Amino acid sequence: MSAPLIPTSHYAELAGREIHWLEWGAADAPVVIAWHGLARTGRDMDELAQHFAARGFRVICPDTIGRGLSQWSPLPDEEYQLSFYAKLANALCDELRLGRVHWVGTSMGGAIGMVCASGLFEPRMKARIASLTLNDNAPQLAEAAIERIRAYAGQPPSFDTVAELEAFFRTVYKPYGWLSDAQWRRLTESSTRRLPDGRVTPHYDPAMVKQFSAHDNDYLIWPHYDAIEVPVLCLRGAQSDLVLPEVVEAMRHRGPGALGRLQVIEIQGCGHAPALNVPEQLEPIEGFIRAAGR
């Protein structure tokens, strides 16, 4: 019997907060946790989840606290940071009784994967992560790009119509690379909320940007990268302004790179960050995960 390609939706209280996730594939299959980027939702991982579920994997796609259908934090200064996100990931694995998992993370999701795989925040996560795929993420990010992201993420615009919001998304996320019209529409509809005045805006808590103001250098995580021992695949958008080539070169000589466990692939036609929605991006991840699983 083939694995179902329609996801199931779940909620649970994790670390004291209600967290939402979608689950794809057979319950007894090898597990992939696919974690989205900073101002996004788990629905960004639909194509990846469909790809892997059809090939014998169980895929878990959470909404980070403050994003999508997960609860907004009542303590934004304390909880919008990587250490708390790692606590949520550990609690999710406990909730689902997960042993070993393969982690695929876009941008912020990759950083969460790094701090989990290091075990420095949540020691039990180190043994749980069997492989780590970083989608345009690294242990050091370009300051200019961080400032750009902070500027648009901290003050999300609002629009009279969903069509206008879609046009905004098509502009700000143009570096994702090619998306079909249907994929742009789904990206928009799955990350839209309506304000009290009836206008529409991106579906996240603007206070999540406090990660940058309340926690200086939360994304400067070389000690975590250096502590990783599992295989790592780094996908870098060829035009990325967030992950610089010199940082990727440094990664080759430290942590898993020094152990011969780092692979780097440049994704042409993309900046920050590849959408993980076409075979040219999904098949290398699948090959990497299958090799790590062996």
155: number of Cβ within 10 Å? 9
- Chain segment 125-160, per-residue pLDDT in tens: 999 999 999 999 999 999 998 888 888 788 899 999
Query: CA 233 to CA 10: how far, in whole Å?
Result: 29
CA 130 to CA 169: how far, in whole Å?
34
3-state class of 264 per DSSP? Answer: strand
What's residue 1's pLDDT? Answer: 38
Give the whole-angstrom CA distance, residue 61 versus residue 53: 12
Domains of the chain: 8-143+218-293 (3.40.50.1820)
Token duo for residue 100: 């070993």
The structure's pTM equals: 0.97
pLDDT digits over 53-81, tens only?
A: 999 999 999 999 999 999 999 999 999 99
User: Closest Cα to residue 22, out of 58, 52, 55?
Assistant: 58
Residues 90, 85: Cα–Cα separation, whole Å: 9
Determine the residue type at 129: I
* Distance, CA of 238 to CA of 241 (rounded, Å): 9
Asked if 49 and 283 count as a contact pair (C-beta separation under 8 A), the reply is no
Residue 4 has pLDDT above 80, yes or no: no
Q: Cα(257)–Cα(64) distance, rounded to whole angstroms? A: 28
Residues of the chain with pLDDT > 90, as a percent, come to 93
The token pair at 73 is: 């934090």
Tell me the mean pLDDT in the region 176-188: 97
Q: Which of 208, 213, 274 is nearest to 243 (CA)?
A: 274
Q: Among candidates 154, 53, 62, which has minimal Cα distance to 105? A: 62
Peptide bond into 273 cis (omega under 30): yes
Mean pLDDT of 162-167: 98
The larger pLDDT score, comparing residue 4 to residue 253, is at 253
